[in-house]
Structure 1
Amino acid sequence: MAKIDDSVKKKVPELRFPGFTDDWEERKLGDLATSFEYGLNASAKSFDGTHKYIRITDIDDSSRKFNSQSLTSPDIDLSSADNYKLKNGDILFARTGASVGKSYIYADSDGLVYYAGFLIRARIKSGVDSNFVFQHTLTSSYENFIRVTSQRSGQPGVNAKEYSTFEISVPSYEEQRKIGSFFKQLDDTITLHQRKIDLLKEQKKGYLQKMFPKNGAKVPELRFEGFADDWEQRKLGEFSDVRDGTHASPKYVSQGHPMVTSKNLTHSGLDMTDVSFLTDEDFNEINKRSKVSIGDILFGMIGTIGNPVIVDRDDFAIKNVALIKEKTSNPITNKWLLQYLKSPSFNRFIQKENAGGTQKFIALG
């Protein structure tokens, strides 16, 4: 690496590998790359079996890997497109739109890949570890950089010159390699486990399809040994206490009790990262009719329908969300009911109830 002026700001991390003691130096991304280039201005066509085309939508949001499930090729004469071929260690950046800032690092194992026009390629210098640089694009400081830099009068965007100003703390090349390799191994392990999780999710979908009776059937296609009786058709209100949250628009405050709506119900559970807050007075008033208890089921009623979750906390109020409580004499547990509410047969019922209309809504009665 080039000699650094003594005035350059120096840092050391809180945790580092043994054998490294030198200070880290603050550098700009532009100092670590030989060039920043925009991609091909070409549409996509069916995959020709060799030439792959990567666009913003082909970069997986969570893993940042090249999603190869729906491969395409550039719809252009590639005889003069060598400059758009990716080389090992190239880093791509999304330059505009909602995905601005999304990044991807190319590896030879991804095959022959050309990159599209809404992406910017940074070709990293020799003597700099590309994996180390790429890991910086997954940090909170990078997110803050993108949020501030991408602000535009129209849609958000970051151009090549602006990307080159992103500041990175850099150690010696050997320490870069050690860190880059460490995080790459972690990323590969996460990807491997994610594939296993995806397979388990598909397996669960299959079980949900077969372990609940289909329309008109008295028994499911698949069941545990020792059970032979017909299943009964019952209405939810017969064995559960079903109510809903407030439909009013209370005054929100900067701190207080969380208010949960349909947007906070996700496939993986209750997401409290984006909530409004209520005063004690409004919280207590709403809870007179719809107090949430641990073990209750919440179900989206308006807009986003479904996403049932069993709650494991009771410090919030609900709005436009169905609340399902177990009755004392209830022969049905909420744990069983939750799985039924996720089954294909119930989803078909929801789709039928919401056929037509502009605002999706499901009534309790």
Structure 2
Amino acid sequence: MQKPSKLAQIPQIRFAGFTDPWERRKLGEVADIVGGGTPSTAISEYWDGDIDWYAPAEISDQIFVNSSQRKITTEGLINSSAKILPVGTILFTSRAGIGKTAILAKESCTNQGFQSIIPHKKELDSYFIFSRTEELKRYGETVGAGSTFVEVSGKQMSNMNLMMPSLAEQTKIGELFANLDNLITLHQRKVEKLQKIKKSCLQNLFPQNNQNTPKIRFKNFSDEWVENKYKNIGQCLSGGTLSYEDLDKNGIYKCILYGELYTRYDYIIKNIVFRTNKLGNKVIKNDILFPQSTTVDAMSLISPACMNDDEAQTSGVFAIRPHKNIDGNFITYYTKGNFYQRNKLAKNAQGLTIVHLYYQSIKDETILIPNLAEQCKISDFFSKLDKLITLQQRKVEKLKNIKKALLNKMFI
């Protein structure tokens, strides 16, 4: 790629070999804008055919689409405003959430919630215009009108002004973003696969229902797990009264607010962000922190996290300081990650608008615990798995940031 001088008619970054200025064109000059329609739902002969028929709700994060949820017959197509759209058409939702896009990988049609873009073969590259989804969305939201819901018309989309290079340069840019999107998708799938593995392990490495041992165990561990109560795990500590007003980026104490157990920290607390000069309730490494309230639901409230940092001040939580034969990370993964155990504690939550959890309510609930060596083996496994998931998520974020930067510099 070369970096040309910044002129109004050329982007900041271009591929080598392209020097001609971009031209201002209306979208309707380089593509046909086609709406859709819905056959009568009262006539069964119009439905359950072999023609794909898309509704806006089906368009989300996918790039290509090749099969709709509902399909219509040839009779349904003829007796409605729906039109067959060729492969390479950009589906563009025009109401009830303007600007969701996808590329047709198979001839299809849509309902009236679209103004689809059919590129002229010698003037517009499909992936080039698809890569400008955010620009199309902003335009649609700006010019759209309506009292019940905002909608953008085909005529309005046709009048959209765009800076356009030659088809050869469009194709080159489209190929770049297609490859980048494929790479992002690849890493996202790796994240999803790891998350599925973790979800399965959280159910199978801990006992379910009336089992005394889990379905899957690490080698060399065969002893029965021993039933215990949360009150026997360790000492209960009450939370402090810190608030956002008490935060100070130059404060001498690290601090954790209860809301961070839902947003910042998952199972493990480390790399603490907030600081304060005010004392709350001191927690140390291996302490298990439980948030005491939420406005969501009881299951969400069961979101403990274990301290893996040396110490911090807390607020809005109660904590359990485990005895020496208890691994706090193990208790956290078991309590929050295992559906059976989490659900058992959630039944003790109180309140409707604001749901509360108190130590006194869960202290007599039971939990099965193996010896310390097996506890540590299990928690270490999940800790390493979490690190691997985080690594893959960072790769996805890095690629998305690269894409965002290129979108800003490769288009006008």
Q: Fold match, TM over 0.5?
A: yes
Residues 191-239 of structure 1 deviation map (CA, whole Å, 9 limit, x = unaligned): 3444444343333322222111112322111110111122233444534
- The separation in 1 between residues aligned to 2:17 and 2:287, in whole angstroms, is 51
- In 2, Cα distance between the equivalents of 1:258 and 1:123? 53
Matched, 1:96 2:95: yes
Structure 2 CA distance for partners of 1:116 and 1:266, relative to 1, 3 Å: farther
Contact 2:38 2:82 in 1 (8 A): no
Q: Is there any run of 5+ residues in structure 1 with no aligned partner, and where?
A: 1-8, 271-277
Verify the 8 A CA contact 1:59 1:65 in the aligned structure 2. no
How do 1:1-365 residues align onto structure 2 when only pairs under 5 Å count?
10-40=8-38, 48=48, 50-60=50-60, 62-66=61-65, 68=67, 71-74=69-72, 77-80=76-79, 84-97=83-96, 99-108=97-106, 112-126=107-121, 127-137=123-133, 139=134, 141-142=135-136, 144-145=138-139, 148-149=142-143, 154-236=148-230, 238-239=233-234, 261=259, 265=263, 288-289=280-281, 301-304=293-296, 305-306=300-301, 322=317, 329=324, 331-334=326-329, 337-338=332-333, 340-349=335-344, 352-353=347-348, 358-359=352-353, 361-365=355-359
Provide, for residues 51-80 of structure 1, a one-character-per-residue CA deviation record: whole Å limited to 9, x for no partner. Answer: 2222122123x3344385x83224872344
Q: Is the 8 A contact 1:136 1:168 kept in 2?
A: no
Which amino acid is 1:233 matched to? Answer: E
2:364 matched to which residue of 1? none
Aligned length: 332
- Matches of 2:157 and 2:77, distance apart in 1: 28
How many Å separate the matches in 2 of 1:263 and 1:202?
22
Is the CA contact 1:95–1:101 (under 8 Å) kept in the aligned structure 2?
Answer: yes
Larger Rg: 2
Does the Cα contact within 8 Å between 1:290 and 1:323 map onto a contact in 2?
no
In the aligned structure 2, how far is the partner of 1:154 from the partner of 1:246? 46
Write out per-residue CA displacement over residues 339-358 of structure 1, whole angstroms, 9 at most, x where no aligned residue.
54122223432554469x74
- Looking at structure 1, the residues matched to 100 and 168 of structure 2 have their Cα atoms a distance apart, in angstroms, of 27
Distance 2:21 2:8 in 1: 6
Which digits, 9 at most, give the CA deviation of each residue in 1:9-44, with x for residues without a partner? 943223222211222234343333223424436559
One-letter identity of the residue aligned with 1:204: K
Amino acid at match of 1:102: K
Matched residue of 1:119: which SS? coil
Seq. identity, % = 25
Q: Could you tell me how far apart the structure 1 residues matched to 2:11 and 2:277 are?
A: 47
Paired residues of 2:85 and 2:108 also in contact (CA < 8 A): yes
Which consecutive residues of structure 2, in runs of 5 or more, have no partner in the other structure?
Answer: 1-6, 248-254, 269-273, 360-412
AA of the residue aligned to 2:58: D
Q: Deviations over 1:318-346 (max 9, x none)?
A: 886x4657658472133662354122223
Q: Is the 8 A contact 1:326 1:334 kept in 2?
A: no
Q: Residue 147 and residue 80 in structure 1: after superposition, are their counterparts in 2 closer, same or farther (change >3 A)?
A: closer
TM-score, normalised to structure 1's length?
Answer: 0.70
Q: Secondary structure at the match of 1:77?
A: helix
- What is the alpha-carbon distance in structure 1 between the residues aligned to residue 88 and residue 23 of structure 2? 22
Distance 1:47 1:202 in 2: 36
Residue type of the partner of 1:84?
K
Counterparts of 1:94 and 1:117, CA distance in 2: 9
User: Partner residue of 1:5?
Assistant: none
Q: Whole-Å Cα distance in 1 between the matches of residues 56 and 264 of structure 2? A: 25
| Letter of the structure 2 residue corresponding to residue 121 of structure 1 | S
1:147-183 C-alpha deviation (Å, 9 max, x unpaired): 5445866544433344344443321110101111222
Distance 1:80 1:58 in 2: 23
Instruction: Report the Cα distance in structure 1 between the residues aligned to 2:242 and 2:28, rounded to whole angstroms.
Output: 53
Q: Give the corresponding residue for 2:250.
A: none
Distance in 2, matches of 1:262 and 1:89, equals: 44
Is the alpha carbon distance of 1:339 and 1:332 closer, same or farther for their aligned partners in structure 2, counting shifts above 3 Å?
same
In the alignment, the residues of structure 1 paired with residue 289 and residue 57 of structure 2 have an alpha-carbon distance, to the nearest angstrom, of 35
TM-score, normalising length: structure 2: 0.63
Contact map agreement 2:207 2:215 (CA 8 A) in 1: yes
Offset, 1:134: 0.7
Aligned-partner Cα distance in 1 for 2:314–2:142:
34
Q: Residue 190 of structure 1 aligns to a residue in which SS? A: helix
In 1, Cα distance between equivalents of 2:146 and 2:314: 36
